[in-house]
Structure formats: structure tokens, C-alpha cells
Structure 1
Amino acid sequence: PDMYFNELQQQLYKQHAMIIGLFIIWRMLKSLGLTCKKLACVAAEHNKDVCNHYRFKFGAEAPNHLVFIEESCINCQTSYHLKGWAPQGKRAIISSKFMYSLLPALCSDGIIYADIRKGAYNGPAFIQYIEDLLDHMNPKPQPKSVHVMDNCAIHHIEEVMELCEEHGVHLYYLPPYSPDLNPIKESFIYVKSVLHHHGQHFQMALQGKNEMVIHGFIYAALATITPDLAQSWMNHSGYW
């Protein structure tokens, strides 16, 4: 799918000894309903059969039962523009040494809980997050009773499983290399676009290391996630 027109032209000549003009190749592709779009890179380890089995299993779950979590980082680059100026032949570089971790929980109503901390999460911090999140969830089979997260090592801490079991919350792990099955990924794109809109003010807060203001910007961005947005992201991932 990533061939240029001239490469397609050469391939057609090699296989069929036919010389076809580039414009005709373009018309043929268009007539087949094919359009040029940004390539999506899928990990080689991605197992389509495992993902299909996962989708089949979750087909019986009510969408309002599901709560998704995932960690993302917020740094100086979040608020910078995507392009910048630099001398010819040199890269435009910015510093991103300040990093905050954002760990929200997304359900069909929006964000039900989120935590922000400087640096990355470790085991004890993640366990504390789960304890706090479970206060906003319900035992199965009530709404917000199924906890879904990816397969990274920190998510498999035994205490996490025990806490979910104590609260009557079902815990599921996504198949490996399947970020498309976690709708919270789209929420990160949305939140970072909101922060980017406040670029200069948010950048000043980051550079001044004013954590209260930084947290305020991030929580305010999360608060703009509506049920309609959350449900549309879940729909894109196949849950609605």
C-alpha cells in the first residue's frame, strides 16, 4: 500500500510487460475506491485472531460497564507548536525536560477519575491510584464495574488484582500490541490539543514549575470531555 505511482508503473511492467501512464494508474486506483492516506503502523507482534477473540468476548459487556485506564505524559512539547525556525540545514529543537504523568479513567460518561504526578508511576503509586479509582467504580454487574487496561508489567502487580476482586470489579487486560482497542488513546490526543491551544500560558506554568497551575490546566482539559466524545471514542474502538 505504500508504493509510489512510478513504483507501481515499474511493477506492472515487470509482471505484465505493459507500460502504463501515471495518470491512468491514478484513475484506476480512484475507480477502485482507493484513496491516499497516512499510513498506520501496526506492530508485527499484533495478533489479529487474539484481538477478534477479545472483541467477541466483550460483545456481551454493556458499554456503560467499561472503565479504561492508560498512562500518558505531559511535557513542554505538549504546548509548543509543531513547527519552528532554525538555520538552514539544522533541526529546530526544543527542550522537554519537565515531564508529568497523567493517568485518567475513561467510561461512557467521560473521565470519572484522574491523577497527575511528576515523573513516571512506580508500583506503590499505581496501587494507590487503583485504590482511589475503585472508590468511583461499582461491583459487577452495575455500571462502571469492568476495569480494562493494557498488558504492561506494572498493571500485573498482584495487589492490583486483589483490590479489584475485593471491590467486586472485573479486571481485563487488552491483547498485546493493540492500542486501537483502548479508546482512552483518543482522549490523550484531545487533551493535548486543548493544552496546545493554551500554549503560551501552559508553557509559562511548566517553565515556572507551578504544579498547582499545571494541574489546573490538565484537569480543566479533562473536564471538557463529554459523554458524547467518550462514547464516540468507544465506538471507534468497537465497544458501542
Structure 2
Amino acid sequence: MVVANNEIRLREIQARIIADQDVFSNIPSISVATIDRVLKRHHLRMKQIYKVPFERNSDRVKELRHRYVQRMMELEGNALPHVFVYVDEAGFNLSKVRRRGRNLIGQRATVFVPGQRGGNITLCAAISTQGILAHIPVMGAYNTQRVLAFLDVLYDRLVPPEERDQVRSVHVVIWDHVAFHHSRDVRAWFEAPPHMAMEFLPPYSPFLNPIEEFFSAWRWKVYDHHPHDRMPLLDAMNAGCRDISAESCQGWCRHARRYFPRCLAREDIRCDIDEAMWPDRRQRADQ
């Protein structure tokens, strides 16, 4: 019952046990405390519930994941080297702080933040197995014109002027389905240079995008620089990027590839915390 319905309550389990006289015919009554002890004995614990969209493991999405991985493998097998570059945007606001802290028992854990929420600052970044390739923060949100400016900077760093007359490799920008990624101007930009191409991630598949883990780590790096009182937020955002090594980016890229066999097999991928940290179900036991 618990495995089939993770949000079932103890009293609901109690009612089902008493009502089911086929499986539990010799149990006329049972207390909630007994049910709780039995669940703990079988390593079933109360946990935070993670919301999973219904579409995440639909047949359509699993087929799109299958095709995406096949496409990645085709590009890797191409005679011309293809370098995968993961691009995404993420916002940051000074009013956001760590959700948990420490203080004496009976006293709240508090932190000082600006009285006014202020505007969001959005960082667009690109990573690969070589590390962070580019990162540009802007006030407000990214749009078509801003992402085109970012692509120009990225192109200048990936393809030096002296190498633009010959195509030695193709840099494949991999990103999500944000509307302006599909805009006519962005598509036209990729049609111009032969050194650049783009591919889209399948929907509901953040585990296939290494830059998601980059942004998660980057936000903590920004907090470590104390943008509230030690330096401006923009400086802290740039410093947070400098704190992330190429080895970390390589690890995130390897972690995303660990899902390739499951995508090829069209398996359901819930992508909860346990599954992300321990893909082997046998390793998910509490120690």
C-alpha cells in the first residue's frame, strides 16, 4: 500500500487492513502505533514528498528521451568531432536565503535580508567537459536579443578568428524548450556558422542536463560570498562561477550520461533525490 501510494496516512492503512478480510482475515483490529512500528521495521520512513508531473513518464516523453540519446550517440560517432555545450538561464534574488539554519533550542534561526525584494538578476551560462565556457548576468529575464548576444560571446570563445576558415569540430549547444530558444532569429543564428549547431533536450528530463547541477552548486557558492554585506550581487555571482572547477563540470556530464541506458530502454525515471544519488535501487537503504 505504501509503495503504491506514497502519501497514504496511517489511519488510511488501518482502515484498509480492517476492511480487507481476504489478506488480513486474522486481524480484527490494529493500532496506528503498531502500523508505524511495522513500517519502520521494513525501512519505510516518513519523507518529504516530491511532486512528479504526470507527463514525466508518458509514452511520448519516453520516446523523445530515446530519440535524444540516439541522436547524441550519432553525433559522438560522427567522423567530425562534436563537442556538447549545455546552456541555460537561472535567476537569483537577494531575498532568497538558505531554508535551514541553526540556533539555540527555543529560538528562531534568522538572517537579515533586504527589506525590498528588488529585481531578479538572471545568469546565462554555458558548460562542457572543459568547464565553464561563458557566463553573463543581466538585470531581469533573458529574451531573444540577450541570448543572441550571449551566443556571440560564446562563439568568440569557442572558435578563435584564425580557425573560422576551417571546420575542425562542431560545438553543439544543448538547451531546453524555452520559447525564445525556438525563435526565428536564434534559428537563423545557428544556420550561419558551420562550427555551431543546437539540439533540444526532451521535456521533463532535467536529469539529462548537467547544467542543472551546475546552477544548484553555483547558488551555494554565491551565498558563500555573502552578497548581502561583503560584495555586490553581480560580483558574487561571477565569483561563484569562478569557484566551480572543470572537474565538477566533467562529473555532472558523466552523471547525466548514466541515464542514457535507461532512456534507450524507455524506462520510467522519477528523478527523485534517492534515484539521483543512488541509481541502483539496492543502494537506497538507510544505514
Range into which the TM-score falls when normalised by the shorter chain:
0.7 to 0.9
Q: Give me the whole-angstrom Cα distance separating, in 2, the residues matched to 1:12 and 1:140.
A: 68
Write the mapping of 1:81-160 to structure 2, written as runs, cut at 5 A.
81-82=98-99, 95-137=116-158, 142=169, 145-160=171-186
| Gap runs ≥5 in structure 1 | 207-212
User: Does the residue aligned with 2:153 lie in a helix, a strand or coil?
Assistant: helix
Give the CA deviation at 1:35. 6.3
Tell me whether 1:161 sits opposite 2:180 in the alignment: no
Tell me whether 1:225 sits opposite 2:252 in the alignment: no
Q: Give me the whole-angstrom Cα distance separating, in 1, the residues matched to 2:254 and 2:45.
A: 23
Cα distance, 1:141–1:179 mapped onto 2, change above 3 Å: farther
Query: 1:118-162 deviations in whole A, cap 9, x for unaligned?
Result: 1112221221112221223358772x7111010111101122222
Letter in 1 for 2:250: Q
Give the CA deviation at 1:167. 1.9
TM-score, normalized by length of structure 1? 0.77
The equivalent position to 1:55 in structure 2, one of 58, 69, 77, is 69
In the other structure, the counterpart of 1:24 is 38
Contact 1:65/1:141 (<8 A) preserved: no
User: Does the residue aligned with 2:203 lie in a helix, a strand or coil?
Assistant: coil
Letter in 2 for 1:233: W
In the other structure, the counterpart of 1:189 is 216
Q: Give me the whole-angstrom Cα distance separating, in 2, the residues matched to 1:117 and 1:205.
A: 20
Q: Give me the whole-angstrom Cα distance separating, in 2, the residues matched to 1:74 and 1:109.
A: 25
Cα distance, 1:7–1:158 mapped onto 2, change above 3 Å: same
Q: Give me the whole-angstrom Cα distance separating, in 2, the residues matched to 1:224 and 1:186.
A: 14
Give the CA deviation at 1:48. 2.6
In the other structure, the counterpart of 1:210 is none
Tell me whether 1:14 sits opposite 2:35 in the alignment: no
The equivalent position to 1:203 in structure 2, one of 228, 232, 241, is 228
Give the CA deviation at 1:9. 4.0
Q: Give me the whole-angstrom Cα distance separating, in 2, the residues matched to 1:45 and 1:2.
A: 19
Q: Give me the whole-angstrom Cα distance separating, in 1, the residues matched to 2:118 and 2:143.
A: 19
Cα distance, 1:160–1:26 mapped onto 2, change above 3 Å: same
Q: Give me the whole-angstrom Cα distance separating, in 2, the residues matched to 1:228 and 1:162.
A: 34
Q: Give me the whole-angstrom Cα distance separating, in 2, the residues matched to 1:107 and 1:197.
A: 24
Give the CA deviation at 1:41. 2.4
Letter in 2 for 1:229: S
Cα distance, 1:76–1:42 mapped onto 2, change above 3 Å: same
What is the aligned-residue identity percentage?
23
RMSD: 3.3
Cα distance, 1:166–1:77 mapped onto 2, change above 3 Å: same
TM-score, normalized by length of structure 2? 0.66
User: Does the residue aligned with 1:136 lie in a helix, a strand or coil?
Assistant: helix
Tell me whether 1:41 sits opposite 2:51 in the alignment: yes
Query: 1:18-40 deviations in whole A, cap 9, x for unaligned?
Result: 45632223323x3xxx6665443
Query: 1:87-142 deviations in whole A, cap 9, x for unaligned?
Result: x9xxx996422311100001112110111111112221221112221223358772
| Gap runs ≥5 in structure 2 | 1-5, 160-165, 261-287
Contact 1:164/1:170 (<8 A) preserved: yes
